[in-house]
Structure 1
Amino acid sequence: MLGLGETDDELKEAMADLRAIDVDILTLGQYLQPTPLHLTVKEYVTPEKFAFWKEYGESIGFRYVASGPLVRSSYRAGELFVKTMVKERAKNTSGISA
């Protein structure tokens, strides 16, 4: 979740740390304060900035990056899982002749 006062350098460091332990999937969304008792939003991240983080994440090796104001951690998880399974199955059967 972005918008809690993190700096670009902090986000780059966190992303590098995740890649260093072979994390392949990254979701970045806008933090929205659920109630007045929760942390306040420090910044509303622009769509352009979310697009930048998507491109940056892909450039450092994430296989899938979902980045946008309404993205949540489970964002399109089922779709990604099915696509990955199909790709893996195709890769595993491409060398088998009938």
Structure 2
Amino acid sequence: AKVEVLTPDFNGNKDSIEIVLSSKPDVFNHNIETVPSLYAKVRPLADYKSSLGVLAYIKKKNKDILTKSGLMLGFGEKIPEVHEVLSDLRKAECDIITIGQYLRPSKAHLPVVEYIKPEIFESFRLKALSMGFKYVSSAPLVRSSMNAEEMYNI
């Protein structure tokens, strides 16, 4: 059996990250969620650079652990911003990316700004693969945990 952990950024606390690493997960997942320009609105308690730092730290500590992140689209991000996030994730040596459509869970949550066309998701999949991601899942209904078993065969 393979073990994937999905973590917060632990406010950058390395001791907390080390505790998770001590469990020797096969995949360490921390979702970046959105582009830097929308972080204050979408993830007001989080920090884009800290999220990237978590993923980079994992690879620094153990190159054998697959790192994974997820991105939700539909908050008003622009295509070049998504490309920038993909590039930043690769610089942090992220191995796996999931890209899906944000769907508003309730009226208390942020509204959807745009529904992204499937062909745009496909263009992001191809872009991510060309950048060196080992596995990419990109489509409107993709979620972070989708097709996890396929990813273990990379």
Name the TM tier (shorter chain): 0.7 to 0.9
Q: Does 1:9 align with 2:91?
A: no
Distance in structure 1 (CA, Å) of the matches to 2:150 and 2:132 = 20
SS of equivalent to 1:29:
strand
Distance in structure 2 (CA, Å) of the matches to 1:13 and 1:55 = 15
Q: Which residue of 57, 62, 65 maps to 2:136?
A: 65
1:62-91 CA distance string (max 9 Å, x none): 11110001100111112221x13xxxxxxx
1:41-62 CA distance string (max 9 Å, x none): 0000001001100001001111
1:64-83, aligned counterparts within 5 Å? 64-81=135-152, 83=153
Instruction: Report the TM-score, using the length of structure 1 for normalisation.
Output: 0.81
In the other structure, the counterpart of 1:55 is 126
| Unmatched segments (≥5 aa) in structure 1 | 85-98
- Number of residue pairs matched? 83
Ranges of 4+ aligned residues in structure 1 off by more than 6 Å: none
Higher relative contact order (CA 8 A, sep 6+): 1
1:7-50 CA distance string (max 9 Å, x none): 11111111100000110100000000000110000000001001
| Unmatched segments (≥5 aa) in structure 2 | 1-71
In the other structure, the counterpart of 2:39 is none
Instruction: Report the TM-score, using the length of structure 2 for normalisation.
Output: 0.52
- Aligned-residue Cα RMSD (Å) equals 0.8
Distance in structure 1 (CA, Å) of the matches to 2:118 and 2:87 = 22
Q: Which residue of 28, 32, 35 maps to 2:99?
A: 28
- Which is higher, the Rg of structure 1 or of structure 2? 1
Pick the structure with more strand per residue: 2
